[in-house]
Amino acid sequence: MINVVFLLYSWKYIERIHNYHSIPENCKDYNADIAKQQMEEIESCKHQGITYYYLLHTEKTKDIDIDYGKQEIDDYEYELFCENKQNHSLNLREKTTILRSDFFEAKKCLEYLENLGSKNIVSWQDEQKVNQWYKLVFPQFTKRKVVGALCKEISPSFLQNYARKDLVFIKTEFKEISFLTSPTLCDFEVRFILENMEEERKLIISEPLDICRDKHGIQEYRAWIVKNKVSTLSRMTEYSSDVPTSIKNFAKNFATQHADIFPCVYTVDFAMDKALGPVVVEMNPFVSCGRYADNSFHQFLSDLLNSKL
């Protein structure tokens, strides 16, 4: 049987998201939309009889030894609760568990669950592998030059190798910062950011995509993959929208051909490029990934149960 663990930061937060049933389907409020998604995931667990837990992030302070005594610093700890908010026995021994968390806390959360005996469906090693997708995806799916580099390696001559129509796309590996710029770095703001970034910061450099658009916006799609099969596929919109057959087939082939490379659960974004056709945009670690309108968590849980992981 599968268990789901949701990271939260206060009980008040859970009370708030319980009041999001009235949010309209086309809601433009990002925070409201995220809260609604989380509530839908909790409701999906209830409807399918799947046990779920809350992992409560609690702020605290602790003393550390320094040269002239002790210093108080901010810290935090986790506590695991079952759905009725009663403190659990803190024993997940041999239980198969999947985590839903903030990306920047994923490592500590996964380690905490492992220490309780959990058999995590997605491990921190899995998350790291997906985050380095640009090294592992077959070129017939990226269809463009993509490379990882350290900030200190970036120069106009380096970037020129990844330019398309005199533009290059740069983003940090963890997606905090991204920009489309000239390989000459003539943009002062971009140059300033790079010059003040840590030298060892990992970046992803690629030829930019020219994604098709229609009246609904850009034609980008997100697939949730379970055991080498597409579980759920949605366009990047707040409302339901058809996915073209070419994208469906491309996503299916991607999952099949990368079966021995990526973990059993992950997400991947595809797009329709004007010149390249269907193409991989990027991949996303599962623990913290978001959902588009038709990325059904209910369907995902069903596929997870049927996969017998």
82-131 pLDDT, tens digit each: 876 666 556 788 899 999 998 889 999 999 999 999 999 999 999 999 99
Give 16-73 pLDDT, tens digit per residue. 777 665 555 555 566 666 777 888 899 999 999 999 999 988 876 555 565 665 555 5
By C-alpha distance, which of 275, 293, 273, 295 is closest to 224?
295
Q: Where are the domains of the chain?
A: 2-124, 145-206, 211-306
Any idea which architecture 211-306 has in CATH? 2-Layer Sandwich (3.30)
Give 203-252 pLDDT, tens digit per residue. 999 999 999 998 888 999 999 999 999 999 999 876 667 899 999 999 99
Q: How far, in Å, CA of 132 to CA of 149, rounded?
A: 11
pLDDT attached to residue 17? 74
pLDDT attached to residue 307? 87
Locate 119 and state its tokens. 């058999």
pLDDT attached to residue 61? 59
Q: Residue 9 above 90 pLDDT?
A: no
Residue 51's identity, in one-letter code, is: T
Q: Do 145-206 and 211-306 show the same overall fold?
A: no
pLDDT attached to residue 200? 94
Q: Cα–Cα distances in Å, from 276 out to 54, 76, 86, 89, 281?
A: 43, 47, 53, 53, 12
Three-state SS sequence of 102-153: CHHHHHHHHHHHHHCCCEECCCHHHHHHHHCHHHHCCHHHHCCCEEEEEHHH
pLDDT attached to residue 71? 58
pLDDT attached to residue 114? 93
Give 159-179 pLDDT, tens digit per residue. 999 999 999 999 998 888 899
Query: Going by CATH, does the domain composed of 145-206 fall within 3.30.1490?
Result: yes
Q: How far, in Å, CA of 155 to CA of 63, rounded?
A: 43
Lowest mean pLDDT among 91-95, 117-121, 139-143, 189-193: 91-95
pLDDT attached to residue 89? 57
Locate 99 and state its tokens. 């985590």
What band does 158 get if pLDDT is binned at 50, 70 and 90?
A: very high
Q: What is the mean pLDDT of residues 180-185?
A: 94
Contact 32, 42 (CB under 8 A): no
Q: What is the mean pLDDT of residues 10-16?
A: 78
